[in-house]
Structure 1
């Protein structure tokens, strides 16, 4: 391989990796909780194997430092950026034409600090493709500094929950293992 080909391949790899992202911060009723209740994954790489436990809360997620109080009926905002700790709004939340839906799930658990996410999940929010505007859900993340706002259903029973924020990049989904899942679980009560 010639030097120019190696440099081109390396540049392409850097571009694709920097286009990856993780959900990091959580806002509850307009209050920025930062990432204290996020189980941050070890990297911003996607999960592509849907038949593994990584699909629950991402591969090798860290521990949250605390639980965040998220009352039924509250408004939450999940925030995504390309690198952990980088909240620079001049950069896309998830870049590189990684178009797809944004989905948020809850799972009622006995202890959100330690639960593995193996229980039942139920969807509380989704924004997909809008045919009228030709805009994907995660394009809204990019336009809004990586943020997606949603309402926690007022009918949710009190207790501990895992809240999973997820976007699915579909640019390579035409092949087996091509869909790229980017998710983070937040621990809440």
Structure 2
């Protein structure tokens, strides 16, 4: 009986680990860069677990039920979930990218959770590799990928079971140094407050060939969410009878 129980628990843990992921690889100029070369290494780089209340999940935390890995969207680590809030930025390189070009992030595993993707950017002062970058109300959304919905089919998650996402840097974005923050809000256990799982990665970039646009609206991260938004606190398996479609959290997309 003990052997059987251990086998079941091991299988459960392996399934959980395989379902989780990080975003170590930035995609720029048609090239997938090396692990953590331009993406700030995250606190979950070993566990692959979602952003948790525990800033640096222990090995034991990796094997907890996903329902106990609660997310505090007001914690400073919610911004980029760095391994070290002070030193990680300076240890990460800054990629040069062209305004109007396609960039992206590659996961280290298949992203098997249904959810919502978006990408935020912020002008980085004094530089992209500074821990002070992005600490004000300076973030703006440049891309999102929301689930589709029809009354006949319910929510449809086209982004499920992929290993990378790509999007465009707005052509009119002014030249300069920025952070690009990719976020997936996984919704498979989002029916209770702090239950939604967040997977985050922040790349450091220097944008060249930009324009004279004014990005906005701008928000603070943390601060952009309360955790009670209908796109974050939602039971995707039991939608209300008057449901009319997914409501993306956060500001509108600025496309430049």
TM > 0.5: yes
The TM-score, its normalising length taken from structure 2, stands at 0.62
Structure with bigger RCO (C-alpha 8 Å, 6+ apart): 1
Aligned alpha-carbon RMSD (Å): 2.1
Residue 69 (structure 1) aligned with residue 96 (structure 2): yes
Give the Cα separation in 2 of the matches to 1:81 and 1:49: 24
Uncovered stretches (5+) of structure 1, i.e. residues with no partner: 83-92
Give the Cα separation in 2 of the matches to 1:24 and 1:69: 17
Aligned partner of 1:136 in structure 2 is 157
Q: State which drifts further: 25-34 or 58-67.
A: 58-67
1:109–1:65 CA distance, 2 compared to 1 (3 A): closer
**Secondary structure of the structure 1 residue equivalent to 2:75:** coil
Instruction: State which of 174, 188, 200 in structure 2 corresponds to 1:183.
Output: 200
Q: Deviations over 1:6-38 (max 9, x none)?
A: 432232122112211011211223133333111
Shift of 1:137: 4.9
Aligned residues: 173
Aligned partner of 2:29 in structure 1 is 29
Instruction: State which of 94, 118, 121 in structure 2 corresponds to 1:103.
Output: 118
Give the Cα separation in 1 of the matches to 2:174 and 2:27: 20
Aligned partner of 2:178 in structure 1 is 161
Aligned partner of 1:88 in structure 2 is none
Give the Cα separation in 2 of the matches to 1:179 and 1:109: 28
The TM-score, its normalising length taken from structure 1, stands at 0.81
Question: Are 1:169 and 1:179, in contact at CA under 8 Å, matched by a contact in 2?
Answer: yes
Q: Which has the larger radius of gyration?
A: 2
Residue 53 (structure 1) aligned with residue 53 (structure 2): no
Uncovered stretches (5+) of structure 2, i.e. residues with no partner: 52-70, 207-256
Aligned partner of 2:233 in structure 1 is none
Runs of 4+ in structure 1 off by over 3 angstroms are: 61-65, 132-135
